[in-house]
């Protein structure tokens, strides 16, 4: 497995020239987080992730986490020590509120830290990611007593957090959960039930684990309206803040997974465990969405981060592996990077990675605007854009994570299929990202079912109009931008057509709209990716760096000419409706057109 090289130069260019980070640093509360300070911080972070965290990636995959007979979970060798170094360095606290010991930096900076850490070791990065989701839920809905008791040590990383949503009979259908929460006289609740797929539900890297558990109180309404959210700590906390007796939550088993072996995915059993209500009863779904929306952008970044690591490895292999002789080459053999198909696979990875990074950072920048801009109208519009971009980032980003890691393995041929090279681990690790935190089909349903209808469709149409403003700028930038402008225009036409169809059809035939939601989301991913690359090419052309300008132009043109046309090709699938999807029953789907004839 090749050594991970943090792409700090690419990230710095994206922040300064593509997503407008210098303007973010002028918002109230971010004055200390100017671009120069941030780039220096990210250089140090990248060095830490590459030198300290990345070496644990292969070891974690081969060793995995283990459940001991007494019920304790042990992470792979070195994880506990590396996590302590992570806490000591304060990387997890950088984008969190100063009031509770955080660094007060923008979410945009925190997202870059997530990328660097996930590229270094995805399984390791899941613990801080889930902790951040729990922190944000407490920040939004916890009372002062809960915040003061839990947040300082969670923000420092001394304590970690989990999200306990899924149950054996309640997966994506959260409203079907059966975990009970019975009120006690002292104001606490007795929590009883079983939760599955709980990432870092138990481990040995921190002394305390703060579980955020969805449960139903007596007499609560059925379905999602009757769900409440509770803090259930692994250890009860004494009045002086020290850890007390063990709470009655037990790890029943660890899941044996396809990838992310180092991350313990636990089945947890709660038996009259002591829990504390967050907010009010029956607000659990609102609190869950705070956790989920925070995690969804982070999961989208996982697709980018693991694909980046896989790309670096495939590029190194393509430069070193000699086989055959390229056209016009001298000598007995050529490096495979000289062959057109390998170049196609490498450039496909490189262009998608750049587009993904720009899009993820753009989404994060709007998160920061939605919380820190002094103008209420700007905050409101930023929140709408976050709502639109987040399902695209999560779904398109993780779909590409699967596709690009597979391309990286393909470049390495038979050696990529051998576990020892590490290429297969990238494919195995990232496969889960399209499934958890809301499957990608759920993201597509969210896009057409919730986000398109905001302000009667005006919100999404305004965003398309904003993207289309770039067409004029591209047409005036010179002949080398001509094909980008022309193809963007064609693809935006197709996207607008699909969007209007979704807005018309969703109101009268929601099943038809849902039937085309996944290809429709893919159209959005391709179009927004091309738009961001075109923005980057124009920005690079305005710098004094000729090499940068050339590389950004080639990436944008390759994407527009060779990857973006697939978007219009999905128009038929996006608008086909539901007739054929439901045209065959289960018997026919099995390939049996009629009962067997016995002779």
State the DSSP string of 86-127.
HHHHTGGGTTS-GGGT-----HHHHHHHHHHHHHH-HHHHHH
Binned at pLDDT 50, 70 and 90, residue 504 comes out as very high
Does 437 qualify as catalytic in the annotation?
yes
The 10s digit of each residue's pLDDT in 206-220 is 999 999 999 999 999
The 10s digit of each residue's pLDDT in 453-494 is 999 999 999 999 999 999 999 999 999 999 999 999 999 999
Radius of gyration of the chain (CA): 25
CA 25 – CA 38 distance, rounded (Å) = 10
Judge whether residue 593 has pLDDT over 70. no
Binned at pLDDT 50, 70 and 90, residue 332 comes out as confident
The 10s digit of each residue's pLDDT in 27-84 is 999 999 999 999 999 999 999 999 999 999 999 999 999 999 988 999 999 999 999 9
Binned at pLDDT 50, 70 and 90, residue 1 comes out as low
Report the mean per-residue pLDDT for the chain: 95
Strand 243-246, strand 180-183: pairing: unpaired
Judge whether residue 594 has pLDDT over 60. no
Is CATH 3.40.30.10 the classification given to domain 55-89+121-282? no
Q: What is the pLDDT of residue 486?
A: 97
Q: What is the pLDDT of residue 592?
A: 65
The 10s digit of each residue's pLDDT in 534-549 is 999 999 999 999 999 9
Q: What is the pLDDT of residue 295?
A: 87
DSSP state, 477? S
DSSP run (H or E) holding 408: helix 376-411
CA 515 – CA 479 distance, rounded (Å) = 40
Contact 481, 537 (CB under 8 A): yes
Q: Is the pTM of this model over 0.85?
A: yes
The 10s digit of each residue's pLDDT in 432-449 is 999 998 899 999 999 999
Q: What is the pLDDT of residue 473?
A: 96
The SS3 of residue 494 is helix
Q: What is the pLDDT of residue 219?
A: 93
Binned at pLDDT 50, 70 and 90, residue 174 comes out as confident
What would the DSSP string read from start to end of 263-326? S-EEEEEEEEEEEEE-SSTT-HHHHHHHHHHHHHHHHHHHHHHHHHHHHHHHHHHHHH-B-S--
Q: Residues in the chain, how many? A: 599
Q: What is the pLDDT of residue 2?
A: 65
Cα 70 to chain centroid, rounded: 34
- Per-residue b/e over 94-109, b at no fewer than 16 CB within 10 Å? bbbbeebebbbbbbbb
CA 399 – CA 485 distance, rounded (Å) = 26
Binned at pLDDT 50, 70 and 90, residue 101 comes out as very high
Largest separation between any pair of C-alpha atoms in the chain: 85
- Sign of the Cα torsion 65, 67, 71, 77 reads negative
**Candidates 115, 136, 281, 437; catalytic one:** 437
Contact 200, 263 (CB under 8 A): yes
Q: What is the pLDDT of residue 596?
A: 57
The SS3 of residue 250 is strand
CA 84 – CA 86 distance, rounded (Å) = 5
Q: Where in the chain is the domain with CATH 2.40.110.20?
A: 55-89+121-282
């Amino acid at each position: 497995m090749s050594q991970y090289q943090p792409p700090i130069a690419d990230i710095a260019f994206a922040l300064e020239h593509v997503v407008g980070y210098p303007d973010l640093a002028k918002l109230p509360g971010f004055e200390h987080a100017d671009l120069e300070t941030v780039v220096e911080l990210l250089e140090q972070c990248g060095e830490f992730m590459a030198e300290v965290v990345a070496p644990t990636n292969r070891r974690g995959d081969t060793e995995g986490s283990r459940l001991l007979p007494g019920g304790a979970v042990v992470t792979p060798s070195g994880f506990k020590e590396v996590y302590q170094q992570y806490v000591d360095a304060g990387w997890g606290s950088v984008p969190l509120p100063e009031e509770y010991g955080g660094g007060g930096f923008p979410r945009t900076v925190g997202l870059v830290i997530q990328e660097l850490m996930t590229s270094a070791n995805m399984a390791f990065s899941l613990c801080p990611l889930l902790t951040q989701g729990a922190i944000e839920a407490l920040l939004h809905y916890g009372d002062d007593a809960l915040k003061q008791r839990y947040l300082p040590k969670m923000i420092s990383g001394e304590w970690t957090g989990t999200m306990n949503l899924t149950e054996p009979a309640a997966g994506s259908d959260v409203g079907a959960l059966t975990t009970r929460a019975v009120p006690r006289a002292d104001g606490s609740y007795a929590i009883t039930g079983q939760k599955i797929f709980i990432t870092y539900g138990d481990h040995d890297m921190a002394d305390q684990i703060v579980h955020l558990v969805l449960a139903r109180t007596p007499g609560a309404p059925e379905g999602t309206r009757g769900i409440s959210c509770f803090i259930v700590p692994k250890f009860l906390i004494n009045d002086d803040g020290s850890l007390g007796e063990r709470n009655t939550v037990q790890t029943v088993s660890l899941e044996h997974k396809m990838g992310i072996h180092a991350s313990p995915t636990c089945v947890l059993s709660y038996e009259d465990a002591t829990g504390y209500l967050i907010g009010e009863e029956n607000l659990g779904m609102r609190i869950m969405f705070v956790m989920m929306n925070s995690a969804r952008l982070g999961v989208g970044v996982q697709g980018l981060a693991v694909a980046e690591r896989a790309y670096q490895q495939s590029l190194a292999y393509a430069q070193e592996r000699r086989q055959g002789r390229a056209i016009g080459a001298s000598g007995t053999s050529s490096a495979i990077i000289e062959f057109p198909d390998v170049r196609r696979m490498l450039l496909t990875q490189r262009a998608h990675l750049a587009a993904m990074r720009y899009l993820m950072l753009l989404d994060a920048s709007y998160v920061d605007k939605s919380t820190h801009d002094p103008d209420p109208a700007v905050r409101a519009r930023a929140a709408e854009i976050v709502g639109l971009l987040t399902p695209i980032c999560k779904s398109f980003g993780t779909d590409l994570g699967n596709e690009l890691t597979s391309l990286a393995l393909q470049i390495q041929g038979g050696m990529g299929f051998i576990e020892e090279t590490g290429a297969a681990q990238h494919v195995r690790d990232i496969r889960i990202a399209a499934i958890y935190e809301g499957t990608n089909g759920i993201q597509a349903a969210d896009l057409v079912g919730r986000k398109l209808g905001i302000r009667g469709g005006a919100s999404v149409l305004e965003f398309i109009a904003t993207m289309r403003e770039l067409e004029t700028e591209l047409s005036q930038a010179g002949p080398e931008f001509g094909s980008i402008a022309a193809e963007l225009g064609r693809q935006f036409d197709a996207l607008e057509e699909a969007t209007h169809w979704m807005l018309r059809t969703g109101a009268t035939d929601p099943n038809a709209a849902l039937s085309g939601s996944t290809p429709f989301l893919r159209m959005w991913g391709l179009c927004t990716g091309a738009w961001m690359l075109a923005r980057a090419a124009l920005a690079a052309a305005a710098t004094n760096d000729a090499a940068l300008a050339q590389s950004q132009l080639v990436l944008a043109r390759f994407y527009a000419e060779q990857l973006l046309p697939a978007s219009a090709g999905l128009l038929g699938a996006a608008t086909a409706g539901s007739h054929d999807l439901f045209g065959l029953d289960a018997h026919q789907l099995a390939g049996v057109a009629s009962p067997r004839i016995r002779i």
